[in-house]
Amino acid sequence: MDLSEAIQQFDLEGYVRQTFDPIVESGSEELRVNCFAPRGCNGGDSKQHLWVNIHKKAWICYKCGYGSYREQPGTGWLVRFIADAEQLSFREVIHRLLMTVHPTPSAELEKLLQDQFTAPSAPPLNNPITLPASFQPCPQLPYLANRGFQWEWREQYDIRYCPNRNLTLWHQRVIFPIRDVPGKLVSAVGRVITNRTPRWQNWPKSDIQSLLWPLHSMEGGRLIPFAGRGKRVLIVEGAFDVLGVQVAGMLALATLGKKLSPQQVAALQRLGIEEVILAWDWDAKAKMLSAVERLVGRFPKVSVFPFLGECWKIHDLGNLMADPYLVSQFHEEIERRIPVDSDEFMNWMLEVQMA
């Protein structure tokens, strides 16, 4: 596949939702994020001046002109957009695009024939990583205490903290190491504990969208695989949502964004889960509806969390850690979860589409 075809197939909406926070939705085609332009706002934007049209694959910052061929020539190229957003080289971005975008049938056949005669040379995605020594075991931070964080989770999930000012991207972040299904450490995400954007930082050069958290826990220095076989598991957005659901006595896995990739579906199938319950945030019900199509027929049961209570408009599942009322509301709605093969789901789907 050539680069132009890879760019054409690239899921810009999924990338924006995975990479940036906060995101403001403006109509059905545009998402607004804080501008990161290295020769413009350079992280100094807090009013989401960068508008991204997800269908046209075009963007413009109404503060510094990033994306305009007149004001900042060359910044309207997708490769440049990803490189500037993640501080990568063009070569790294191009390699990722060519490796992660699904080829068309003709391109796939051509590549298959080529692979019969040439040995693969490109490294696989999500290679094992080593966390810096300055990623220390997480201390008892007031930020975590206020959120209802349970201190035994630090060891259970090997949660770290970075006090090192020299590691600008990770400084003052609570860090969640991420392992793949076999147990290799391949990525990490970090939540800042101060009033700074972006709130979440992803490990560079890793494909977060193909991973789930937590596929393993720690016990006495040993890796314990996720015990979801034959059970019902909620699919949530982030790490704190997983911990909130755990307080409520259920299992959850985070997609680390409001999108479900084929790789994540394959990982869920390998885990032998009996029932998948989609439970992204209240404002992501339309995204849940799209994700249902990837799950139906692949699992014995598929349901959606209904988000009936008004509380979910201002709270997410991470708030279950510190709020017994939300735990009670959560249990009530779990009992009222909506199977996707029911008439009730059809009504729920129509309500979502009309909202």
Give per-residue burial for 20-42: e unless 16+ CB within 10 Å, then b: bbeeeeeeeebbbbbbbbeebbe
Dist. CA 176–CA 161, nearest whole Å: 9
What are 236-256's pLDDT values in tens digits? 999 999 999 999 999 999 999
What dihedral do alpha carbons 250, 226, 274, 254 form, nearest 10°?
60
DSSP state, residue 84: H
Q: What global pTM score does this model have? A: 0.69
Dist. CA 326–CA 335, nearest whole Å: 14
Dist. CA 97–CA 79, nearest whole Å: 9
Phi-psi region of 150 (alpha: psi -120 to 50; beta: other; left: phi over 0): beta
What are 260-287's pLDDT values in tens digits? 988 899 999 999 999 999 999 998 888 8
Dist. CA 224–CA 216, nearest whole Å: 5
**What residue ranges of the chain are covered by domains with CATH 3.90.580.10?**
3-104
**What residue ranges of the chain are covered by domains with CATH 3.40.1360.10?**
136-354
Dist. CA 256–CA 348, nearest whole Å: 25
Q: Coil, helix or strand for 193?
A: coil
pLDDT at 113: 44
**Given 3-state DSSP classes, what are the helix, strand and coil percentages for the chain, each rounded to the nearest 5?**
35, 20, 45
Look at domain 136-354 and name its CATH class: alpha beta
H or E stretch covering 348: helix 343-354
pLDDT at 122: 42
**Which residue ranges of the chain lie beneath pLDDT 70?**
1-4, 100-125, 355
- Tokens 């607004």 sit at which residue? 32
Architecture of domain 3-104: Alpha-Beta Complex (3.90)
